[in-house]
Chain A
Amino acid sequence: MKKFLLCTGILCLWLHGARAERVSLESYAHNLDSLPIAVLPFTSLNEKSVRSDEPWKIIADDLDFSGRFMVTSLAKADTALFLQKNIPIYIDGKYSIDGSFIVMDCFLHDSRTGDVIAEKRYNGEVKLLRTMSHRFSNEVVEMLFNDRGIFLSRICFVKDEGAVKDIMVMDFDGHTIKQFTNNKTLNIFPAFADSVSLLWTSYARGQPDIYKGNILTGKMKPLIVSRYIESSPSASLTDGRIAFGSNRDGNMEIYVCEADGTGVNRLTFSKSIDTSPCWSPNGFQIAFTSDRGGSPQIYVMDADGANVRRLTYEGSYQDSPAWSPKGDKIAYMSQSGGPFQIWTIQTDGTNPQQVTTNPGSNENPAWSADGSHIVFSCKAGFKNDLYAIKIDGSHLKRLTSTGNAKMPDWSE
């Protein structure tokens, strides 16, 4: 009861002023483990119902995925039930379909009074209903937590079919999987350069070169081409510069070039294997894997190659660093006498934390744009599938079930 009054009291702040105001409840929401919210079915205004992609289910799944909400799906608004379950807010909506077009209104209500706290209208083709629903989910997260939502982001990954490996792109929740490459060869190490551009290594010429492509237009072109191995590209979010691994000078080293592939500069000069570079979000540092110390470990250096320092000391094999968009942590895969697990570590090398404990070999982590989740591939037996997990190790969700998905990356 007290919790309900607290939540309701907080929400009373919203009853003044115009609708659709943005109010930051971050300080309050963080006092709750997760914010209880109910989602009700939307009403059709002209008796034409959506056949698939029911927006209320999509929104409920999105909010549940975020781990910030305790979502309850109910058939209708019931004040007594809201009170009983301590649910201070609920979502419902209405829509009308005209041919292939839909107009949809989504509402966020105070569950005590039923008053509308915020509303959003979306209209467009029915086939874009998932996108509209995800957009509203983003709005809800922004309104309540003053943080960006991730529900319009995408995940790219490798579909491994042995001699042929293709790049695939899907929504963050595993829906709408589309094939991006289709050249009957090996395409690996995909990485988002921005929300619609991909970098990856392709053997289209018979050699491992770095390619760049647009997931909306399908256009792709070779970017870094040579007679050597060019692999594991990573693009800086600040200026598009690309870090990658290459053996053009004898053994695998880290190089940096401009976004168009020109101006290549070598950053590492060790006799060991240096690979898997990953930019910090401020574009000032690069994390990478090196076995210069006798076993593969994670190192960090400035983006100009200076200040090389070792980050990891625990475990016998560390690889695949991924820098959190918040800048404070690096995720990586670590092995210590068993299968790989996903770990995180502070950027000063302190506080290594194990994230995954599920059975199987957990590899190749990548962060969501808000730094709250990690996607990774899990190999169990002969099958590889993608999973998402909150960084505290909770809310593990399976994203694919094809048995051949690996090397994921998550877009902004």
Chain B
Amino acid sequence: MNGKKKLLIVLCAACAIVQTGCSSITMIRIKELKEVRYHVDSLKVELSAAQQELLKAEKNQDELLRLIRADQQVRFDEIGQRISSLEGGLSESKYKLSQIDKKTEEFQEQWKAKTQADSSMTAKKTTQMDKLYQIAYGDFTAGRFDLAANGFADFIKQFPEAPLADDASYWLAECWHGKKDLEKAELAYSDYLRKYREGKKVCTALYKLGLVFESKKQPDKRKMVWQKLISACPSSSEANIAKDRLGK
């Protein structure tokens, strides 16, 4: 009995020790777990904060980029305006130069008329030519399209090689367009474009021909002509209108 009691006591003691040990280990483990959990929570908070910061930084960066782009756009616009302004100044200078050229030409004409007897015939022809053109153009601006068309046709017939023949051919087409005679207008614009490939009014004639096709309800032909216009005269005001109208 004593042996059994002792064994029992020892066993109990051992169990108690083990139990205590287990509890301690558990306690330690629990404590460790708590610490870990606390640590994880802290890390989560820090991560969240870091994410917030990152978002904020991204937002600031976007804002900054937007401001930079806007600033650049403004600068580009300013540059564009300055270029326009310079172009305006250039055209003013060209105008003034053309005025001087005109006066110089007038003096030269007067000198020629005085000193050369046979050149007065040429001067007379030039004056007649100018008059014929001015009368026809005056009829055009007054809306007298029939008279104007006759005048321009006469001019082209009499002075086919004159510098104003280019303009006269164009205005003849405009007369028919003004009269809404679409068939004649189409022929006249096409004729102008064929004869004066490098002419002063090529871009405008292409645009107007497109308008004729538009009025004749021929959208394919209109598109073809205006695409030609956009390709040949990309920076012209007529090309801009054509792009806008084709885009609609």
Chain A residues near B (Cβ < 8 Å): 265-272, 280-285, 292-295, 297, 301-302, 304-308, 310, 313, 327-328, 347
CB atoms of B142 and A282 under 8 A apart: yes
Residues of chain B with a CB closer than 8 A to A295's CB = 88
Q: Once the chains are docked, how many angstroms separate the CA of A304 from the CA of B210? A: 11
Query: Which label, helix, strand, loop or mixed, suits the secondary structure of the B interface?
Result: helix
Q: Once the chains are docked, how many angstroms separate the CA of A282 from the CA of B241? A: 22
CB atoms of B238 and A292 under 8 A apart: no
Q: Is B85 an interface residue (CB 8 A)?
A: yes
Q: Is B105 an interface residue (CB 8 A)?
A: no
Known: A282-B142, A293-B84; 17 extra A-B contacts, CB below 8 A, are A266-B241, A269-B241, A271-B84, A272-B81, A284-B141, A285-B141, A293-B87, A293-B91, A294-B86, A304-B208, A305-B238, A305-B241, A306-B237, A306-B238, A307-B204, A308-B237, A310-B91
A282, closest chain B residue (CB)? B143
Min Cβ gap B197→A in Å is 19
- 13 A-B contacts (beta carbon < 8 Å): A271-B81, A271-B84, A285-B141, A293-B87, A294-B86, A294-B89, A297-B88, A304-B208, A304-B211, A306-B241, A308-B237, A327-B142, A327-B143
Tally inter-chain residue pairs, CB-CB below 8 A.
71
Q: Once the chains are docked, how many angstroms separate the CA of A347 from the CA of B142? A: 11
What is the size, in residues, of chain B's interface with A at 8 Å between Cβ atoms? Answer: 28
Q: Residue A306 contacts which of B86, B142, B207, B244 (CB distance < 8 angstroms)?
A: B207
Residues of chain A with a CB closer than 8 A to B211's CB = 304
Min Cβ gap A110→B in Å is 36
Q: Once the chains are docked, how many angstroms separate the CA of A265 from the CA of B248? A: 10
Q: Once the chains are docked, how many angstroms separate the CA of A204 from the CA of B89? A: 41
CB atoms of B84 and A272 under 8 A apart: yes
Min Cβ gap B139→A in Å is 11
Min Cβ gap B182→A in Å is 14
Q: Once the chains are docked, how many angstroms separate the CA of A328 from the CA of B143? A: 12
Chain B residues near A (Cβ < 8 Å): 77, 80-81, 84-89, 91-92, 95-96, 141-143, 178, 201, 204, 207-208, 211, 237-238, 240-241, 244-245
CB atoms of B204 and A292 under 8 A apart: no
Min Cβ gap A301→B in Å is 8
State whether A313 and B84 are in contact (beta carbons under 8 Å apart), knowing that A280-B141, A293-B89, A306-B237 are contacts in the complex. no
CB atoms of B88 and A294 under 8 A apart: yes
CB atoms of A282 and B141 under 8 A apart: yes
Q: Once the chains are docked, how many angstroms separate the CA of A247 from the CA of B95? A: 31
Residues of chain B with a CB closer than 8 A to A308's CB = 237
